[in-house]
Structure 1
């Protein structure tokens, strides 16, 4: 009886334990459900509607509305851990910000979308977002980063990218290489594309790719290779019977031959292009291509020296452009014609076309062309001897050149250069900003990851606490049951006598119960072991988290230390640079002092030289005058001299005369330099002075068989000059003309009124003056490469004295050869 009762109690206890375990499971399920979010059909439908609306706004270019809707869908998707919604919302935000050129924000969302897609391990979507990120960098002007993403996309397994996508990507990659000035790599990429298009026999794409290859070859100055590509383009266009493209190809080939200085070949292809364009013109095509061809042909003829062919071509272009072109376009053709006529020496035609160009350009914004035309007109008038008009045109050119609009154009070029520098700096800042964004994103991802790990640990702790509470409750129930069991045992002992019949059965049942109890104890121990193991796992996780935090602290401290080192290094470098600058400044000051000292010494030496020359020349003048006087006395008193003695006397007299003239000129130069000229200006009849000088040189000219022709205008007014200095100027100029004229030639002396002054010309038929000699013509002591034709002496002082005297009398002297 006692055994049966104990068995019943045991059954009741087992049922109770099962119920308790079920309650624990339900409680745990409710607890976990309270901390988890489930996406209902309504939630997903609401998010999908938001994404659909954002997509629609993006297609309508309403980017602000796209951003608002996508951000709301992102927040809701994130709160519900709806991965698909998060990914699509981030991509919409990135696309909208990219369209608004807010590249920094766009990059942030693309990188977040990339991280979300990597979790899902969706290769196709990852390729798509990487390509979009590359496109973003390309548009942002950061080709280095764009190239890295394009290469990343191209590195994926075959089959992920379609052929169309691959072609588009290779084109973009080649453009990126060009932006980075990696012309060789761009060429390799275009050749890879060309193989694909040739395989598919896509003639249109073959032509486009060959054009790009030719342009890269041209950038590399590989004109022969560029020609090969253009010839292939021409052949394909002929197969397609595309006349317009054939004309364009011939033009391109012509320009390449021109770059190679193969002008006949260039002319041939420009003429072919003209034939194609004229054929198109019969069908009503645009005449601009014909005008361009005619200009190219005219330029080539001009380069070949065929001015007639060039003029013929430009006149044809002028007829076409006068019918349809603007004033500036017509002026361009007139300028071309003016340049050709000017170079060929046809100054009247050059003047006519230049004046046409100026009239057309007046009032337009093309100030530079107007200034160039005015300058050419000034040169034309100067060549034709109309100096007054030449001066007037040059003044107009100066006014135009200095005009406000001209300065604005120059300032615009300067601003463009500044903008180029600013863009370079901006590009560097973009790269730094991008690196910061990517680092910030990595930190955010790490933070999110650590937060999730923290939540998981907290969840495990709550689960453990719940399990501990359940076990404590179970233990309490067990103790209550044991107390009841003790009470029942006391009742059993009281009824022991009544139960002796079933002792054996009770013992057997008791053994079974003990066996079950031992199993229960064994399970409890196993649970305790599992609990200990979970505690150890928790401790290990906490230890790992602690190590990671320590690692972050170490990295932060290291980064701070590196920044300190960089700051200190910068300070040291700045101090060193300051020392170098100070040293250089001291050296410059020292050099400046040395230069000033040398300048003082040079000034002193120049003064001493002038003084010495003056003293020597002055001291030489008296003895020479005495020698000259003695020679005159000998001439008058000596009779019966032989012919040989008379010749010797003449030679001595001539030598003394030359030496005295040289001393006089040296003294004149010294007086000019010391600014001690005493001008005695008076009203003078210049023709009379000139005739007197010419009469003195007629004998000298007759010895060389030279005829002096005078062209002196009548009724010239008197001029306020110094007679002696004017006479000496005429003597020097006429002396040079006689010295440097060949035997039996002519010298022409002209005098005529010009405006408010008188122009005097001494014209000889000598060998001319070189450009190098022209620079030193009016310098002191300079002897020219040309020599006197009869071996006459030259001191190199005559023209320098002429220049000083003329300028002292407010005149002007120059030479034309």
Structure 2
């Protein structure tokens, strides 16, 4: 129960469903029961209310169990038994063996405290049987320890030690250091009872070390208390007091009220040994107050008994009246909660007080009661019954184990039949990596007969270069592993496989071999490949459709803007002329209007031409006529066609070449369209007064950057315009691209020109690209077209 309470409180707060919240509340209540019983009761009541509201039978059962443990802490042992028995019935109804084992184990603890060791042992053995059946190793260790504790109470230390050692072995196998610390404490108590305080201290120190490593403050405080008790029994009171005070300090620090009360009472015992009765009474009184505060009747009875015995020692003659008052209260509570050990202790103390003060008759009465009660607890008949019960339990356990073994053999025969007929390969190898079993499916899968594989290395199916022997040390480190790879058939053909290997171990958890399941996943891999290809095709198709959708949207936007705006301008001019009459306008003004209309019509014509061009290119309708021609003449003609636009913006077009023919193998019309677009763009995006440089380089001056065997002619157009950003470069040749730069005059752009340029150039087996140092730093467009190798430039 020693858990992180804050973590459990957070779990309650963050629970998402009602069942999750109920379970979190139950766990929190369980963790609080021993240290903060009142808070535990409130939390458990909340959980029970919710469990009943939602009809959650499992939650109700665990809440009732928690109620039983809470009553145990408050020393209401009769109520505790009823609650735990009810919880056991609930667990049986819902077939929750884990909960049933827990409730039975706590019933055993209650009856052990009541001194009914037969019942206690019976419940602990039932709990142990269930834990073994459901393989609850932690529960098994706890039940073994509790059976050992019962034997301690009977003075049967040999059997007690045997059970504790069994419990310690289980805890060690589980790696449960907290459980080991608890068992060390119990073994220490055996040596306490045997007055072997040296060994007692050894085990208590082991417990303390583990608790400190685990930062288990509750366990640490308990260990300090037990070490103090060992020193007290060996009359080393100074060391004893030191450890009791350390235990007290920790329990105050962690707000363990029950533990604090226990430590205070132990400190009181030391001062009583030193005959410092006032200090002893003070500690006993503080202990009594806390026990009463938390409602722990057993602790209250013990503290009252301590105070009663103490007041009989005060001064020379003692204080018999106060001594009897405290002892009678202690006896009354002990009888009410039916704790026999406390009852006979109270009778013994009362007998001594009466004897010291002349009440011989009453002293004799209490002494007789002391002996009668003690004999009912500790007589030989009880011990014999317990030993018989232990023998019966061992015989019954052996019978059950035989039945289990018989059932396992039957199941094993079924399993072997299943393995022989299954279509998946199964191979078993020993610790030396040699095959000791292979099923028909595995042998057939790899093209072998079964007899051929027995005794062969287990890695016979792997690639030869990767075959290696699995060492025993490596086998110990790995319990299970999965992988995919390729196995080889006898004929050398390989195929993809999925492999799952598990280490096989004996009863001592030592590896005895390895079991491997092999599945031929050829069909799965082929299906996965087809699926990947289909996914790739679908991804491309989706991207294409998304691009079409984007282009459609952009086309509609252009159609609504670049077509509508010119029409609106034309319509406005016509409406004005119709309204006022053409004769009302002077000739120069009419010429101006007609010139504007012509510009608007040209703008619409350009857009429609570009749209038709791009459509013909993408649909494959546009056919090119490739031939050899003089690129210089086409370039010169295109420059002249754009000269007027350049003059209008005071821009100089400067051609740099050798003045000789430069032959290319391309489509003449398409080439002129490309050059016109590039030169007009340079003018369009340059500010007035700038220069546009056009260079033409024959194949001899062009470095071959293509894998093609053709030589290339390069034409570059460099402007001093607005330049290109990195983002511009990414979308420069895309359809309907809008760049960061805008035309510097009253020109317009359709966003299609460069897209058409790129497609036409690629159709002619050429290249086109652009470079720019950055915004406002100009741009250079490079055009490369295949040269004609059959004709020399002249």
* TM-score (norm: length of structure 2): 0.30
- Report 1 or 2 for greater relative contact order, CA contacts < 8 Å, sequence distance ≥ 6: 1
Normalized per residue, which structure has more helix?
A: 1
- Structure ID, larger Rg: 1
Larger proportion of strand: 2
Task: Normalising by structure 1, report the TM-score.
Answer: 0.29
